[in-house]
């Protein structure tokens, strides 16, 4: 089995994790899950970089010690990942003794080879970057990253002969066009190498100035430069160059970084590996920044996005999908709750969620929630198969090249094609005409391709994908779908057995419309749920009942007013408790339409959900949709209040679902 090894940056502990950290790590998790489905022995590691000037400064500012600060912030990073459904194979800390041992051995090896020397240096030192800048690297005399004036420092230090490898590095990048990707960052590094002689790298700090670091093995009066230390975590996480894991995984290694740390990874790191006679990584994958109101996130500007707040508000899977779908890898992208809501409503609720809802509801209605026996394919199925084959082929090709947004768009071509197929095949008409064989073909085809969509989405949205597969009667274990499933030649041979059970309904992605929910001043969801009154004493229009009593102020109504109401008889196909409200039921009602209606009814205190299934009820069918505790209600079930409780308004004998009350 081919190996695949991916690393995130070793995150610096001078600040708590933010959206940028979350994005990089979620991308890594998704990519490794994808490679696992492609049949590769895949793992990724992350960790924390805990040495250097900035850690000492941050600890002093917090009234703490560097070790205590590192422990606390590292723990915050480590605890964040499982809450975002991120599962690294390892978490390395640069204060770990095992890591320090690898760093010392590496330093000694390069020193013994003659590539580390002692000398005096005068340069512009930026404490924010923890590195020296040359005059040509400064922008108007300022650090290009922090826009602050560096301090001119002269001191004796140890240097790595990085300039020795300039020509070799340039030739390697030219010969390996995908060594640095996307292309724009490869071009940037080549321009840097062409701009002049590469300086040697200062790799030590005198203990007279800094003690918080790894002591040099050949001079105890110095500690190692933080970048020379941190980059080696990619190797120490595997146990060092002599370990079996290093021999297995390192030849297939890739790094994932943001563009602000391009130079250390594209220049420092490969020359360090070359000097130590170690093989290079395969790819350096570089992404852009997340912007807020077109500005890079910054604590000083107060525009830092907390990832857990977004995940808690929208759900982990929606958050993960948005990050991979919204950013075109390599470019900057803008983050806003409005954009996240738009993706949720358009892609997930309207397209994917609606597909699962309508197909499972029709399977419940026409086949009693059992997978039907398919008949022969016709032109519609043959055309759909071509779309599906092209969609998943493009998805795999694009995802493997980190073009996540384009890959998901390709998969959505299949999702949208399935929704169009429902409309073209019209299963409700087939059922009406008693064409059971054709109906079985259509529903079986839909369920089969819904499985394909769910499996391909698992790397991005693991929890929701597992729910989809469970709803299709094909649940997976804690490790997700089978390793190698996307690389199978018989991918489309879905194990859907006729007669096996599927869910009777689905509500994967409730729409989020904060404006709609906030457009009812004076209304209380709790009062609506209980069928109570609003502040003015009028009956709640969203309470699913009709109170007996006098007409509303204003007297009798005209017949034309009554004609505005569209009252229809429907059959309850499914019913369950609302996930977020004790007094509400989620009722699925067949009104003879192409899809089953979802109605949120405040009747939970009077009825057991399973006792309503199969009953016929009267519904106000043309009531404007309204959100109740996060779920959209498309209609109102009529009921009558009695002393002993509530009775649903119904008919004396069964009628065809959708029959109009007149």
Encode pLDDT of 37-69 as tens digits: 999 999 999 999 999 988 999 999 999 999 999
Mean pLDDT, rounded, of the chain = 88
pTM of the model as a whole:
0.77
pLDDT above 70 as % of the chain: 91
- What local confidence, expressed as pLDDT, does residue 192 receive? 94
More reliable by pLDDT, 402 or 625:
402
Quickly state the pLDDT bin for 297 (edges 50, 70, 90). Answer: low
Which pair of tokens denotes residue 276? 């130590």
Q: Which two tokens stand for residue 86?
A: 């991120």
What pLDDT is recorded for position 656?
81
Work out the pLDDT band at 141, boundaries 50, 70, 90.
confident
The per-residue pLDDT for 315 is: 93
The confidence score (pLDDT) of residue 545 equals 30
Q: Which helix (H) or strand (E) holds 257?
A: strand 253-258
What Rg value do the Cα atoms of the chain yield, rounded?
Answer: 31
Q: Which of 167-176, 201-210, 639-648 has the highest mean pLDDT?
A: 167-176
Dump pLDDT digits (tens) for 226-265: 999 999 999 999 999 999 999 999 999 999 999 999 999 9
For residues 2-9, average pLDDT: 97
pLDDT at site 302 = 64
Tokens at 81, concatenated: 């990942």
Position 561 scores a pLDDT of 66
**Average pLDDT for 359-388:** 96
Is 80 exceeded by the pLDDT of residue 645? no
Q: Which of 224, 251, 258 is nearest to 10 (CA)?
A: 258
d(CA 574, CA 554): 39
Has residue 598 got a pLDDT over 60?
yes
Return the higher-pLDDT residue of 425 and 129.
425
pLDDT of residue 48: 97
Are 455 and 465 contacting, i.e. CB atoms less than 8 angstroms apart? yes
Among 83-97, 407-421, 542-556, 600-614, where is mean pLDDT lowest? 542-556
Residues 6+ apart with CB under 8 A from 90: 43, 45, 46, 47, 237
Domains and CATH numbers, the chain: 3-287 (3.40.50.620), 320-487 (1.10.730.10), 514-648 (2.40.50.140)
Cis peptide before 33 (omega within 30 of 0): no
pLDDT per position as a tens digit, 498-509:
999 999 989 999
Is the per-residue pLDDT at 431 higher than 70? yes
Span 22-33, average pLDDT? 98
**List of residues 6+ apart from 167 with CB closer than 8 A:** none
- What are the tens digits of pLDDT across the range 611-639? 788 889 999 999 888 888 888 899 999 98
Q: Give residue 144's pLDDT.
A: 84
CB burial readout 134-172, b (16+ within 10 A) else e: eeebeeeeebeeeeeebeeeeeebbbbbbeebbeebbee
Which of the residue ranges 75-84, 182-191, 554-563 would you say has the lowest mean pLDDT? 554-563
pLDDT at 124 > cutoff 60: yes
Is residue 556 pLDDT above 80, yes or no? no
DSSP-assigned letters across all residues of 518-564: TSSTT--HHHHHTT-B-TTSPBPTTSS-B--SSPPTT----HHHHHT
Which residues have a Cβ under 8 Å from the Cβ of 361 and sit 6 or more positions away? Answer: 504, 505, 506, 573, 574, 588, 590, 595, 596
Task: Quickly list H helices, 38-145.
Answer: 53-62, 66-83, 97-112
Q: Please give the share of the chain, as a percent, with pLDDT higher than 90.
A: 68
CB 123 within 8 A of CB 153: yes
Q: What is the pLDDT of residue 314?
A: 93
The listed range with the strongest mean pLDDT (457-461, 473-477, 565-569, 593-597) is: 457-461
Look at residue 277 and tell me whether its pLDDT is greater than 90: yes
| 412-429 tens-digit pLDDT | 999 999 999 999 999 999
Q: Provide mean pLDDT across the span 81-88.
A: 96
Asked whether residue 150 carries a pLDDT value surpassing 90, the answer given is no
d(CA 578, CA 596): 17
Predicted confidence at residue 581, as pLDDT, reads 81
Of the ranges 388-397, 523-532, 579-588, which one carries the lowest mean pLDDT score? 523-532
What average pLDDT does this structure show over 635-656?
82
Answer yes or no: is pLDDT of 537 > 60. Answer: no
* pLDDT tens sequence across 446-464: 999 999 999 999 999 999 9
pLDDT of residue 533: 28
Contacts of 335 (CB under 8 A, 6+ apart): 19, 290, 291, 292, 305, 326
Which residues form the catalytic set?
18, 21, 126, 129, 143, 146, 296, 299
pLDDT value, residue 643: 59
Judge whether 8 and 25 are in contact, CB under 8 Å. yes
524 pLDDT band, cuts 50/70/90, is very low
User: Residue 520 pLDDT more than 50?
Assistant: no
């Amino acid at each position: 089995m081919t190996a695949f090894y991916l690393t995130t940056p070793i995150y610096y502990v001078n600040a708590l994790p933010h959206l940028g950290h979350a994005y990089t790590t979620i991308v890594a998790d998704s990519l490794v899950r994808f490679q696992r489905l492609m049949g590769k022995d895949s793992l990724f590691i992350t960790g924390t970089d805990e040495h250097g000037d900035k850690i000492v400064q941050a600890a002093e500012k917090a009234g703490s010690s560097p070790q205590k600060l590192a422990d606390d912030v590292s723990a915050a990073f480590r605890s964040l990942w499982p809450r975002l459904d991120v599962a690294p194979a390892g978490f390395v800390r640069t204060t770990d003794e095992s890591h320090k041992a690898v760093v010392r051995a590496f330093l000694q090896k390069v020193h013994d080879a003659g590539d580390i020397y002692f000398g005096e240096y005068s340069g512009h030192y930026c404490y924010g970057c923890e590195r020296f800048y040359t005059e040509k690297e400064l922008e108007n005399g300022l650090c290009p990253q922090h826009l602050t004036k560096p301090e001119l420092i002269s001191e004796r230090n140890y240097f790595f002969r990085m300039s020795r490898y300039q020509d070799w590095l340039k030739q390697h990048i030219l010969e390996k066009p995908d060594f640095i990707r996307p292309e724009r960052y490869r071009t940037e590094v080549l321009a840097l190498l062409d701009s002049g002689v590469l300086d040697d790298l200062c790799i030590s700090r005198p203990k007279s100035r800094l003690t918080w670091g790894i002591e040099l093995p050949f001079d105890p009066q110095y500690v190692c430069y933080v970048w020379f230390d941190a980059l080696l975590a990619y190797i120490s996480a595997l146990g060092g160059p002599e370990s079996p894991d290093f021999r297995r995984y390192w030849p297939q290694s890739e790094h994932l970084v943001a563009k602000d740390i391009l130079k250390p990874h594209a220049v420092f790191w490969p020359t360090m590996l070359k000097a130590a006679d170690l093989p290079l990584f395969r790819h350096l994958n570089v992404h852009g920044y997340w912007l807020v109101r077109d500005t890079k996130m910054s604590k000083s500007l107060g525009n830092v996005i907390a990832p857990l707040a977004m995940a808690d508000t929208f759900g982990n899977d929606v958050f993960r999908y948005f990050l991979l779908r919204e950013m075109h890898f390599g470019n900057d992208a803008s983050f806003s709750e409005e954009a996240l809501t738009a993706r949720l409503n358009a892609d997930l609720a309207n397209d994917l969620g609606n597909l699962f809802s309508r197909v499972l509801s029709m399977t419940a209605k026409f086949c009693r929630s059992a997978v039907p026996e398919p008949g022969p394919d016709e032109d519609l199925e043959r055309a759909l198969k071509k779309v599906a084959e092209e969609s998943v082929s493009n998805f795999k090709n694009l995802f493997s090249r980190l073009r996540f947004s384009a890959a998901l768009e390709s998969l959505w071509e299949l999702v949208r094609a399935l929704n169009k197929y429902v409309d073209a095949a019209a299963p409700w008409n087939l059922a009406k005409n008693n064409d059971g064989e054709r109906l079985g073909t259509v529903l079986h085809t839909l369920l089969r391709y819904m499985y394909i969509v769910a499996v391909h989405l698992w790397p991005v949205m693991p929890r929701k994908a597992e729910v989809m597969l469970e709803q299709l009667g094909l649940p997976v274990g804690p490790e997700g779908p089978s390793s190698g499933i996307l690389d199978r030649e018989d991918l489309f041979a879905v194990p859907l057995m006729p007669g096996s059970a599927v869910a009777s309904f689905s509500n994967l992605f409730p729409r989020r419309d904060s404006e709609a929910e906030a457009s009812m001043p004076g209304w209380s969801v709790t009062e609506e749920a209980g069928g109570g009154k609003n502040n003015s004493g009028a009956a709640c229009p969203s309470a699913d009942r009709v109170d007996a009593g006098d007409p509303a102020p204003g007297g009798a109504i005209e017949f034309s007013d009554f004609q505005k109401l569209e009252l229809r008889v429907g059959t309850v196909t499914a019913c369950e408790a609302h996930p977020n409200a004790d007094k509400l039921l989620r009722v699925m009602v067949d009104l003879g339409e192409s899809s089953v209606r979802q109605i949120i009814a405040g009747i939970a205190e009077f009825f057991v959900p399973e006792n309503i299934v199969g009953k016929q009820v009267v519904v106000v069918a043309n009531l404007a949709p309204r959100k109740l505790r996060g779920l959209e209600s498309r209609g109102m079930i009529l009921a009558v209040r009695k002393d002993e409780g509530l009775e649903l308004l119904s008919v004396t004998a069964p009628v065809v679902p959708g029959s109009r009350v007149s």
